Amino acid sequence: MIDIRDISLSFGGNKALDGVTFSVEPGETLALIGPNGAGKSTVFNVISRFYRPSAGSVTFGDTDILKLQAHQIAALGIARTFQNIELFENATVLQNLLVGRSARTSSNWAREFFFAGSTRAGERQARRKVEEVLDLLDLQHLRSEIVRDLPYGARKNVELARAVCAEPTLLLLDEPASGLNPEEVADMAFWLQDIREELGITILMVEHNMGLVARLATRCIALASGRVLAHGSVAEVQADREVQKAYLGTAA
Ligand SMILES: Nc1ncnc2c1ncn2[C@@H]1O[C@H](COP(=O)(O)OP(=O)(O)OP(=O)(O)O)[C@@H](O)[C@H]1O
């Protein structure tokens, strides 16, 4: 589905990515793990076209992503969430989801957002999709709430819902469990399972919570200091000596 080949990227003298190669297969949930500063978010920012690597290639199906602009990535079928939730804080849950939907169908999201009462066929279809996602992620009761009034866990779920509304084939999740309590992590695991099983969306996630990773990931890749240290099943990667040393190194 997406093929990342030999990408490198430095910030000043700091090599954030150093020849990173991996691919994501259709239908899998691939977890990207590694200590702080390993380069995980930088990989996401390369795929999203926020950062340009100094070397390497990124292809999504037959498309060379590095030839595209950041605003063209959603239309391709790639959606993402952020480490720090990024939503329209003063809009309702429903409005945020409609904006998420329009990221896929139109580059002029503002038109859809401000003229939400229009009866165009695209608008009706968007609303059907949004209702489906509100049901799937248990958000119907919050649909008219203003996002800034919601607790952190609910906002995290709204951000996930916004990404799913774009009907991506590939969903990039940057730390879906961070800041959640154990009960909320369990809910998140259910929702991610539903997204994968009911909607067939392929997931690439950065996550520190190994409980969530062990439960969801079909495969795991460990990064440290901008390099791939290990890949395989979650158990194999956790047992890898180099991976263990990398985590101990940052804890020391
Ligand atoms: N915009 C930037 N400007 C300068 N340095 C950056 C920038 N983005 C990332 N870096 C550096 O690149 C390296 C990799 O950072 P990155 O955020 O990708 O790590 P990470 O694995 O996602 O870490 P964490 O788990 O803490 O989020 C770090 O040394 C970081 O300081």
192-204 pLDDT per residue, tens: 999 999 999 999 9
Reported pTM: 0.88
Domain edges within the chain: 1-77+168-252, 89-167
The answer to whether the complex's ipTM is over 0.90 is: yes
Report the nearest atom of ligand 1 relative to the CA of 14.
29
The preferred substitution site among 7, 41, 213 for testing ligand 1, maximizing ligand atoms within 8 Å of CB, is: 41
Report the nearest atom of ligand 1 relative to the CA of 39.
18
pLDDT at 18: 96
Q: Does domain 1-77+168-252 have CATH number 3.30.200.20?
A: no
Report the nearest atom of ligand 1 relative to the CA of 34.
21
12-54 pLDDT per residue, tens: 889 999 999 999 999 999 999 999 899 999 999 999 999 999 9
Question: Cβ neighbours of residue 95 under 8 Å, at least 6 residues apart?
Answer: 88, 113, 116
HSE (side-chain half, CA atoms, 13 Å) at 83: 9
Question: Cβ neighbours of residue 137 under 8 Å, at least 6 residues apart?
Answer: 157, 160, 161, 164, 191, 194
Q: Residue 2 C-alpha to ligand 1 middle, in angstroms?
A: 22
Q: Residue 194 C-alpha to ligand 1 middle, in angstroms?
A: 31
